[in-house]
A and B are shown apart, each in its own frame.
Chain A
Amino acid sequence: MTELERHMLKEVAELDSLPVGAYNIRSNGKSAARNTTANIDIVTKEEVSGIDIIIKPGTKNQSVHIPVIISESGLKEVVYNDFYIGEDCDVTIIAGCGISNCGGSDSRHDGVHSFHVGKNSKVRYVEKHYGEGTGKGKRLMNPTTVVELGEDAYMLMETSQISGVDDTIRETRATIGDRSSLVIHDKILTDGKQKAVAKMFVDLDGEDSGCDLISRGVAKEDSYQEVILGINGNNKCNGHAECDSIIMDRGVILATPQLKAENVDASLIHEAAIGKIAGEQLLKLMTLGLTEKEAEDMIVKGFLR
C-alpha cells in the first residue's frame, strides 16, 4: 500500500492498519485486500462491479470494513455492494470513499449499497466521504443506499461528508417492516463551489415501525445544499425528520420536508431550521479566549460532531 493510500484509508475508515475481522479494500477500481471470517463472507459479483457481503444468522459483535479509495485522476466507477444480514445479528459495517485527485480529469465513484436486514437484527452502518487533491479534476460521489428492514430490526446509519467533494447526490431509500426502526444521522459540510443534494425517502410499511432522520448541514462560501427528507406513513407508525442547517458566507440551502400519511395511526413530524451562527455563541466562546474565526470553527465542528 502506498503512503497516499494509507492516508486515505485513515481519513475514510480511521484505519492505521488492516482491520480486525472481515474487510474488503477497494483501491483504484480493484480489490486490494480482502479477509473473510467464519461468519462473514465476501464474494465478488460476476455481472457488475461490486461485492456481496453475507453475514450468517446469529453473528454478534463483529464488523466489516469496506473502504474505497481512488487516487488515479479520471477514474470513474459504479460499484454495487449488497449486504445480506441474517436474523439475530448485531454487526457494524464501516464503509467510506476517499478520492484524492491531483490531476486534470474528474474522478467519480458511485456506490450503490443495498441492505437486506433479517428479523431481530441490529446494524450500525458508518459511511464517510472524503475528497482532497490539488488538481483541476473534480471529485464526484453519488452514493445510493437501499435499506430493507425485516421484522423487529434496527439500523443506525451514520453518514458524513465533510468537505472535499465537489458534487454529490446522495440518495437513501428504505422500507421498514413491523416493529423495526431506522435512524439516520447525516452530516454534511460544503465549501467553495461545491454542490450536495441529499435525498432520503422512508416507507414505514410495518405496524409499529419508526424512523428518525436527522440531517445537519453547514454550507460555506458559495456552496449549495439541498436536503429532501420524505417519510410515508403507510401503517401505524412513528416518523420524525429533522433538518438543521448553518448557512455561512454566500451559501445556499434548500430544505424540503415531505410527509405523507396513509394510515390514521401514522404519526409523522418534521422540523427544519436554517440560520447563521448565533452572534451570542460567537461572543460566548470569545469570552473564553477564542478569536472570532476560532469560535466559528469550534461551533461548526461541534454542530457536525
Chain B
Amino acid sequence: MILELKNISYEIDGKVILDNINLKIEDRFVAVTGPNGSGKSTLAKIIMGLLTPTSGRIILDGEDITDLPINERADKGISFAFQQPVRFKGLRVGDLLKLAYKGEKKLSEACAILSEVGLCARDYQDRELNDTLSGGEMKRIEIAMTAARGTALSIFDEPEAGIDLWSFQSLIRVFEKLYRKTSGSIVIISHQERILAIADKIIYLKEGKVEKYGKGEEVLRFISNISSKPCSELTKNLD
C-alpha cells in the first residue's frame, strides 16, 4: 500500500490545523506522534474521509480518493479505530463484528481477536455497545474490530488512551499479529514509547506541519533531543 498526501491543509474557523502536509507512506508500520493540538487526529480523519481537507489531494495506490465518501474508502481497504469509540443503544458487539467481517463466515476469527484484547467473546458478543460497557472495554472492542477487518490500511487513533497497563501488553500483541498475519499497513497515532519503538517509521507533527519524518530510531532521537531541552520561556532570564 502506498498512501500519498499532497499539499493537505485543513482550516476551521480561521485556524490552521494542518498546514500543507506532504507525505508518502509506504512502510508497514508508521507511527504519528507530536504534541497535543499538532493535528495528528485531524490528519488521520482526513485519510479516512471523516473530515474533508480545505485543500490538497489524497492518493491511495495511485488512485485519487480525495472525493470518495467514507464507505467507499472503507471498501478500498481503509479502516479506522476511533480515539473515543462510539456507543449505540441496541446495537451489539456481534453486530459490528459481523459488519467488520462482512458476514458471519469469519465470526470465529472475530471471536479470537476479542480474546486477544482480553475479552471473552462468548460474554461480549451479545453485549450492547451502550453505557453498560466501560471506556476501556469499548476501546478494546474498537481496536479488535478494526484489526478484524485486516485491510490494506488500518489507522488507530491513540489506541492506548483509556487502556490500563495490563491491557496495553495485549494491545501491542494485536498490532504485532496484524503486522505478521496480514500484508496491510498500520498507521498509529500514539504518544507511547513502546509503540513508537516498534514502528518502521515515525511522523513527528508540530503545529500542523511535518517536523520530522524518518526511520523510527532516527525520529525518536530527534524527539528525545527536543524534550531534553529546557523550556526557553522559563530559562530566558537565567543567562
CB distance from A13 to the nearest CB of B (A): 23
Contacts of B50 in A (CB 8 A): 283, 287
CB atoms of B90 and A289 under 8 A apart: no
CB atoms of A289 and B91 under 8 A apart: no
CB atoms of B86 and A290 under 8 A apart: no
Using CB atoms, name the residue of chain A closest to B100: A288
CB atoms of A288 and B99 under 8 A apart: yes
CB distance from B124 to the nearest CB of A (A): 16
B10 touches A (CB below 8 Å): no
Using CB atoms, name the residue of chain A closest to B99: A288
CB atoms of A298 and B91 under 8 A apart: yes
Contacts of A283 in B (CB 8 A): 50, 70, 86
CB atoms of B88 and A299 under 8 A apart: yes
CB atoms of B69 and A286 under 8 A apart: yes
B121 touches A (CB below 8 Å): no
CB atoms of B86 and A280 under 8 A apart: yes
Number of A interface residues at 8 Å Cβ cutoff, please give it.
Answer: 22
Contacts of B110 in A (CB 8 A): none
CB atoms of A287 and B89 under 8 A apart: no
Interface residues of B in 72-86 (CB under 8 A from A): 74-75, 79-80, 82, 85-86
With A298-B91, A299-B91, A302-B91 given, is the CB distance from A286 to B86 under 8 Å? no
A278 touches B (CB below 8 Å): yes
CB distance from A31 to the nearest CB of B (A): 37
Choose one: B74, B86, B95; the contact of A289 (CB below 8 Å).
Answer: B74
With A283-B50, A283-B70, A284-B82 given, is the CB distance from A289 to B88 under 8 Å? no
Using CB atoms, name the residue of chain A closest to B90: A302
Rounded to whole angstroms, the CA-CA distance of A303 and B90 in the bound complex is: 5
Chain B interface residue number, banded: 20 to 34
Using CB atoms, name the residue of chain B closest to A283: B50
What 0/1 readout, one digit per residue, does chain A (187-209) give for beta carbons within 8 Å of chain B?
A: 00000000000000000000000
Rounded to whole angstroms, the CA-CA distance of A281 and B129 in the bound complex is: 11
CB atoms of A244 and B79 under 8 A apart: no
Contacts of B70 in A (CB 8 A): 283, 286-287
CB atoms of A286 and B90 under 8 A apart: no
CB atoms of A284 and B89 under 8 A apart: no
Rounded to whole angstroms, the CA-CA distance of A283 and B157 in the bound complex is: 15
Rounded to whole angstroms, the CA-CA distance of A289 and B95 in the bound complex is: 13
B107 touches A (CB below 8 Å): no
Choose one: A280, A290, A303; the contact of B99 (CB below 8 Å).
Answer: A290
B96 touches A (CB below 8 Å): yes
Using CB atoms, name the residue of chain A closest to B73: A287
CB atoms of B69 and A281 under 8 A apart: no
Contacts of A292 in B (CB 8 A): 69, 71
Rounded to whole angstroms, the CA-CA distance of A305 and B126 in the bound complex is: 13
Choose one: A280, A287, A291, A304; the contact of B90 (CB below 8 Å).
Answer: A304
CB atoms of B95 and A287 under 8 A apart: no
Choose one: A278, A290, A301; the contact of B71 (CB below 8 Å).
Answer: A290
Rounded to whole angstroms, the CA-CA distance of A185 and B77 in the bound complex is: 40
CB atoms of A287 and B91 under 8 A apart: no
28 contacts between A and B (CB under 8 A): A244-B89, A280-B82, A281-B86, A283-B50, A284-B86, A285-B96, A286-B69, A287-B48, A287-B71, A287-B74, A287-B79, A288-B100, A288-B145, A288-B149, A289-B75, A290-B71, A292-B69, A299-B88, A299-B90, A299-B91, A301-B90, A302-B88, A302-B90, A302-B92, A303-B88, A303-B90, A304-B90, A305-B90
CB atoms of A291 and B89 under 8 A apart: no
Choose one: A278, A301, A305; the contact of B86 (CB below 8 Å).
Answer: A278
The 9 nearest A-B residue pairs measured at CB: A302-B90, A302-B91, A286-B70, A284-B86, A289-B74, A288-B99, A303-B90, A286-B71, A287-B80
